[in-house]
Amino acid sequence: MKESSAGKPAAKNTVRSTGADMIFNIVLYVLSAVMLIVIVYPLYFIVIASFSDPSAVTSGEVWFAPAGFTLDGYKALFAETRIWHSYFNTILYTVLGTLFGLAVCLSAAYALSRKDLVFRKPLMVFFIVPMFFSGGLIPTFLTVRQFGLYNNFWVMVIPFAVSIYHVIVARTFFESNIPEALWESARIDGCGNLRFFFQMVLPLSTAIIAVLALWTAVGHWNSYFNALIYLRNESLMPLQIILRNILITSQSQAAMGTGEAAQIALRTASLVKYGAIIISTAPIMCVYPFLQKYFSQGAMIGAVKG
């Protein structure tokens, strides 16, 4: 602690909270609590509804705890052996798709971040234009089929690995956080672009790698449209398509039934609906709290420069 000229300890600078500050903090905490409830409660309701009697859910008896506890929805889902194989397919698509997507996007982003890249600006325009104008579904479908990827395992990994938005975010990160002096000193020591990228750029880019890996993994885990268009073999289907088929089947059975059988089928279809939501989102819901900070980092990284 510093002493004043008179030999007495100098008083520390303290910031006093005014009444307006306290009111602002209270209002902020109340709004945050309301937003938390609005976001969390629907997720919680789906969980308890999946264990509740559908009639109790329909009549509004389910609020904070399951009513008429039952596991019939999960039993009906897990009785389908297709779910386990589709779960394995989704995990494979997510892991391989994330690794391949990172390899492609990070490589392209680093190349576009280099100021000495020949035709850098035209190449950047070449990357940006497809963000606004795509070829359409039919040309894409014909291209995929001509490359022999239709109804193929790799159609979920290779054709749609490049995300232009991810490339732009990573390029912005490299331009902002990898100093040019580091490249110049490495080049003096005989380091080439490839070695510099793997030994220096990537170790210094763990934040953006984590962000892009998380974005890519979530996209692959939730992806169903590509499988719906480009896959016909049920053994290659991801989890989301199988759950969709099971849900449609259960609802069709409920619609075609009569009497007590129809009521049982309708009850099972309702339970299957909630159970399918839980099964398909549980892994992401468990992982997200631990990786939430990377989402905010990714938003800040993309907002620093255009």
Dist. CA 237–CA 229, nearest whole Å: 11
Per DSSP, 117 falls in state -
What total of structural domains would you count in the chain? 2
The pLDDT value given to residue 109: 93
Full domain range(s) for residue 232: 75-304
**Alpha-carbon distance 227 to 128, whole Å?**
26
- The pTM for the full model equals 0.79
Q: Are residues 139 and 286 located together in one domain of the fold?
A: yes
Say which residue the tokens 């500050």 belong to: 21
Q: Tell me, what DSSP letter sits at residue 235?
A: G
239 with 223: CB under 8 angstroms? Answer: no
d(CA 150, CA 232): 9
Residue 3 pairs in a beta bridge with 9
Cα–Cα distance, 95 to 156 (Å, whole number):
11
- 1 assigned to some structural domain: yes
Asked if 92 and 138 sit in the same domain, the reply is yes
CATH number at residue 85: 1.10.3720.10
pLDDT tens-place values along the chain, 306 residues long: 445 455 555 555 555 667 788 888 899 999 999 998 998 888 888 888 888 888 888 777 888 888 888 888 888 888 888 888 898 999 999 999 999 999 999 999 999 998 888 888 888 888 888 888 877 889 999 999 999 999 999 999 999 898 999 999 899 889 888 888 888 888 888 888 889 999 899 998 888 888 898 889 988 998 889 999 999 998 999 988 988 888 887 777 767 766 676 677 777 778 888 888 888 888 877 777 776 666 666 556 555 544
pLDDT of residue 306: 44
- The reply to whether 260 and 134 lie within a common domain is yes
> Got the DSSP string for 153-190?
GGGGTSTT---HHHHHHHHHHHHHHS-HHHHHHHHHTT
In a domain, 61, yes or no: no
Please check whether residues 92 and 217 belong to one and the same domain. yes
